[in-house]
């Protein structure tokens, strides 16, 4: 299970400007970190209203291990410098179930082609479903800035 990112009430959806850039994308470059450094991998994703990115990963991977210690994540659109930092929180089947149609469409190639397959993966602990959000700062209005593409 990822490290505590804080109460759900302190997390906001990703900024609309970043979500707009995800339209038509199938994969993201997803970074995690630990004391030894950072790692980045390509991952399929799903965008679930009101603006969260969901990731599905094997429970016993380096990135999952990192997220158990530090919920920080950076999402970057391949081929661009557009990125968004956030935090991951674990999602159980009860929270995922209402979104099963979108999740199974996005994660079919990961073995979650049906709601039953996704439920089984989450309940048996072989996979983790993670929700990416932004942490609300005390002086924040709930909007985070998107790091724009560098057009040099």
pLDDT at 22 over 50: yes
CB 115 within 8 A of CB 97: yes
pLDDT at 1 over 70: no
Tokens of 96: 């995922």
Burial 46-59 (b: 16+ CB within 10 A, else e): bbbeebbbbbbbee
CB 9 within 8 A of CB 140: no
The predicted-structure confidence for 91-142, as pLDDT tens digits, reads as follows 999 999 999 999 999 999 999 999 999 999 999 999 999 999 999 876 554 4
Distance, CA of 35 to CA of 108 (rounded, Å): 33
pTM of the model: 0.85
Beta pairing class for 127-135 and 83-91: antiparallel
The predicted-structure confidence for 29-62, as pLDDT tens digits, reads as follows 999 998 888 999 999 999 999 999 999 999 999 8
Distant-in-sequence, close-in-space partners of 20: CB < 8 Å, separation ≥ 6: none
Nearest to 102 by CA among 90, 88, 115: 115
* Predicted local distance difference test score (pLDDT) of residue 143: 43
The predicted-structure confidence for 62-71, as pLDDT tens digits, reads as follows 899 899 999 9
Distance, CA of 21 to CA of 65 (rounded, Å): 29
* Predicted local distance difference test score (pLDDT) of residue 59: 92
């Amino acid at each position: 299970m990822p490290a505590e990112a804080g109460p759900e009430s302190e997390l906001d959806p990703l900024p609309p400007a970043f979500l707009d850039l995800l339209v038509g994308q199938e994969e993201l470059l997803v970074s995690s970190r630990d004391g030894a450094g950072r790692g980045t991998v390509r991952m399929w994703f799903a965008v679930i209203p009101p603006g969260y990115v969901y990731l599905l990963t094997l429970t016993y991977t380096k990135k999952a291990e990192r997220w158990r210690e530090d919920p920080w994540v950076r999402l970057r659109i391949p081929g661009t410098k557009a990125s968004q930092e956030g935090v991951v929180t674990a999602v159980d089947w009860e929270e995922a179930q209402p979104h099963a149609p979108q999740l199974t469409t996005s994660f079919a190639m990961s073995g979650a082609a049906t709601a039953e397959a996704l439920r089984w993966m989450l309940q048996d602990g072989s996979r983790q479903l993670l929700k990416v959000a932004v942490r609300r700062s005390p002086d924040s209005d709930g909007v985070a800035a998107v790091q724009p593409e560098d057009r040099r």
